[in-house]
Amino acid sequence: MTRWRLTIEYDGTPFMGWQRQEHGPSVQQTLEEAIHRMTGELAAVHAAGRTDAGVHALAMSAHVEIAKTLTEHRLREGLNALVRPHPVSILAVAKVADDWHARFLCIGRRYLYRILDRRAPPALDAGRVWHVAVPLDAEAMQQGAAHLIGRHDFTTFRSAQCQSDSPVKTLDRLDVRRVDEEIHVEAAARSFLHHQVRSMVGCLALVGRDQWQADDMRKALEARDRSALGFNAPPHGLYFVEAIYPEVGANR
């Protein structure tokens, strides 16, 4: 039995999320079915994070155990052939130790949120950015984001369905910058609450539209109350960027 690490890129648009669901397709199901077709084995694929419906990944890290003898090249190429026509790509595969775990050994996760703030809607990036038809003030958004850095009770920015034992998380980074016609929000932490990034971005967009002041981010945080939230940004602008591990550094 060999444990393999997979680095996976996917467009989340047609999926109900990473995790297997009874009511629709998932990235996990797509990969597990491809592995079954390739090896005849019913293998479970475990990821560093569980992205929601519509959320994308640039380099999700996962692991799977396979009994059949395979080379790295054959596993990667075989899976990429078998996941078609789903928008999933295996970027890299590597053998890892039997106790290596994509989720439990992960010490950091990074996300990117893309906002297109122009009047004209996207044609090429439809479903891959959040379109806001008015200009946003990136500097004001950055000022608001600064209030959330550090260790806090993020109850306000937590989904009612969140299964985390505690709402307390340490947010290492929350940067807002303009990239041409887009606003990019980059978030980094050891782990995140369910909907935390989308909730933070939704409120930052209110700051960018001058509907909130930067200090309102602090007030929302300190309220520790979901009713103090502005709103959630939609899932299709969110990307899982990388998972970080102590022995190998960044995933990509």
210 belongs to the catalytic site: no
Helix (H) / strand (E) element for 42: namely: none
Kindly name the residue from 11, 52, 99, 210 that is annotated as catalytic.
Answer: 52
Residue type, 89: S
- In angstroms, the Cα distances linking 72 to 2, 28, 126, 252 are 11, 20, 34, 17
| Cβ atoms of 174 and 149 closer than 8 Å | yes
Q: Residue 80 has which token pair?
A: 């990429």
Q: Residue 23 has which token pair?
A: 């009511």
Note the maximum CA span of the chain: 59
- In angstroms, the Cα distances linking 65 to 68, 70, 141 are 9, 12, 44
Q: Computed over its alpha carbons, how large is the radius of gyration of the chain?
A: 19
Enumerate the β-bridge partners of residue 3.
65, 96
Q: Which residues have a catalytic role annotated? A: 52
